[in-house]
Amino acid sequence: METTNDPHGRPDYFPRLAAERLDIALCRASAAVARAADAHGRDQGLGTGPHLVLRMLADVGPCSQQALSEELRIDRSVMVGVCDELQREGLVRRERNSRDRRSYAVTITDRGRDRLATAERAVPDFLDGVFHPLTAAERGTLQALLVKLLGVGDA
């Protein structure tokens, strides 16, 4: 007989499925973290995509929209909207790329650096809230395993 904690009498199927299928558990965990990040970004006035764009520009300097899209894994059509929004808010500027006049170089502005700094200060509390069930050591292990799984670490 199925066990149930649901007031409607439905079986507790998902916990068993997640325990049996790593792919399902990882997809659900990823979706939950993404939803939390989006909500946090809305609360902070800087969504996840715009935050990532500002962070990359601050870290690596001016980039084409194509480079931002490819590196951050944000669809090109979405990236255009993100850059439009950031430019409207004065957080970035777009100028013709001196190396390729067909493209634009996106550059973070001083106002963008200020907004990024404010958003970055809120990240530790956000991460503590999202990953509260894990100890610091477990978080480190999870980070290392995900980096390995993605093939992006120093192997």
Domain that holds residue 73: 46-130
Query: Is the model's pLDDT at 125 over the cut of 50?
Result: yes
Overall domain count for the chain: 1
What is the spatial distance between Cα 71 and Cα 79, in angstroms, rounded to a whole number?
11
Query: Residue 37's closest CA among 120, 112, 127?
Result: 127
- Percentage with pLDDT > 90 across the chain: 71
Q: What's the CATH code of the domain at 52?
A: 1.10.10.10
18, 24 contact by CB (below 8 A): yes
pTM given for the model: 0.80
Query: Domain for residue 59, yes or no?
Result: yes
Query: Domain for residue 18, yes or no?
Result: no
Query: Domain for residue 23, yes or no?
Result: no
Query: Domain for residue 2, yes or no?
Result: no
pLDDT digits (tens, 9 = 90+) for 12-55: 888 888 888 999 999 999 999 999 998 998 888 899 999 999 99
Mean pLDDT confidence for 70-98: 93
